[in-house]
Structure 1
Amino acid sequence: MQIDLSGKHAIITGSTAGIGFAIAQGLAKAGADVVITGRTQARVDGAITALKKDTPNAKVEGVAADLGTAEGCQTLIKQQPSTDILINNVGIFAPQDFFDVDDATWQQFFDVNVMSAVRLSRHYAQGMRERDWGRIQFISSESGINIPSEMVHYGMTKSALLSVSRGLAKVLSGTQVTVNAILPGPTRSEGVLKMIGEMAEKEGISQQEVEERFVKENRPSSIIQRLATPEEVASMSIYAASPQASATTGAALRVEGGIVDTLT
């Protein structure tokens, strides 16, 4: 299968590292013009440099904005008023005991993980509908189905994204705009590797040992029995963004290594 996204414009939120960067990289290699976003100009500039080094002919722009706020979303919209492909990837996570999560933290997780996607999708989907072509994706998680007891507040936001994704697909029924959710499992993203590295240093063991133990103790139903790579997740996203995926919409596409033990 040859995926060609030449002439398409893509915005990938939260794309200075990890899954978001891997998606931006993959879309650029497929020929799309990509927009990287991050909270600081330094992070955005660094990601653009890294992407151009890997893919010299890539057409890449960047926008620095805090998409967890309405003002930040408007900053992105003002600089990039339309797009063909929107990947709602920006998000935060942190393990925390349910009884210690205060109202402000619940609100912060909802604003960053859910409302950023709602605000941007609400804007960009209208142009896609008018042009009768587009791809919108919500990077959810297996945690949206398999709610982790150590991150109930995070799992809630990922469940919400599944609802928004399915509902928006119905709103755009009959058009050539598809809307899908991507469900990664634990992935070797920057944030996860940092957490695992800190655990390894604290316990005086290797990072590989911590990764293996994490999967065994926290995701024992995993079939692949390891963390996924950002590139593995990105491959699903790139396919869903392609012309070949025109009949795939309203779906929850799993890239979680078989952790969710259900048939559908």
Structure 2
Amino acid sequence: MRLSRAYMPGMKERNWGRVLFIASESALNIPVEMVDYGVSKTAMLGLARGLAKLMAGTNVTVNSVLPGPTLSEGVEDMLKAQNPGSTRPVAELAAEFVQKHRPSNILRRMATVDEVANLVAYAASPLSSATTGAALRVDGGTVDTI
């Protein structure tokens, strides 16, 4: 919020800018093992939507990106710690995690960081000029809505 308040006036003055919040599918699909995390991500969605309304009529857009399970370095470390001594490939451990903890995931695997970055790159580019106030999902179909 503070960064947005600091940078958005200049964006508005230049009549161009992109504000992106990296939230999570957990904002919509609050995990019982991490309720506090889910609630914080839900708050981000409200903040982004409100800020988008503040920029109405400008070329400044504000959106949220909602990654689902993503095979980042931190997640790899977590999976290895949960499976000490395992010789199974990390991708296999990740797919097993998704099956157990996010069974609604249609891909049946974690996204790569590059797959998430692709959506962020779009949302940050001029190509996304008509996308604002949105919660953009890159969740592998984890959130069970249409």
TM-score w.r.t. the length of structure 1 is 0.53
CA contact (8 A) 1:221 1:259 kept: yes
Match of 2:9 among 82, 107, 126: 126
Correspondence for 2:51 among 143, 163, 168: 168
AA in 1 matched with 2:78? M
Structure-1 separation of matches of 2:81 and 2:30: 24
By how many angstroms is 1:196 displaced?
0.6
> Is the counterpart of residue 187 in structure 1 residue 70 in structure 2?
yes
Q: Does 1:153 align with 2:36?
A: yes
Amino acid corresponding to residue 24 of structure 2 in structure 1: S
Q: Report if the CA contact (8 A) 1:179-1:249 is conserved.
A: yes
1:199–1:210 contact (8 Å) kept in structure 2: no
* Paired amino acid for 2:69: P
Partner of 2:98: 215
CA contact (8 A) 2:71 2:94 kept: no
Give the structure 2 partner of residue 35 of structure 1: none
- In structure 2, runs of 5+ residues without a counterpart are none
TM-score with structure 2 setting the length: 0.95
Asked if the contact 1:188–1:227 (Cα under 8 Å) also holds between the matched residues in 2, the reply is: yes
| Backbone CA RMSD of aligned residues | 1.1
Matched, 1:262 2:135: no
| Matched positions, count | 145
Match of residue 112 from structure 2: 229
- Secondary structure of the structure 2 residue equivalent to 1:178: strand
1:4-19 to structure 2, matched below 5 A, reads none
SS of the residue aligned with 2:82?
helix
Greater relative contact order (Cα < 8 A, sep 6+): 2
Runs of at least 5 residues in structure 1 that lack an aligned partner in the other structure:
1-117
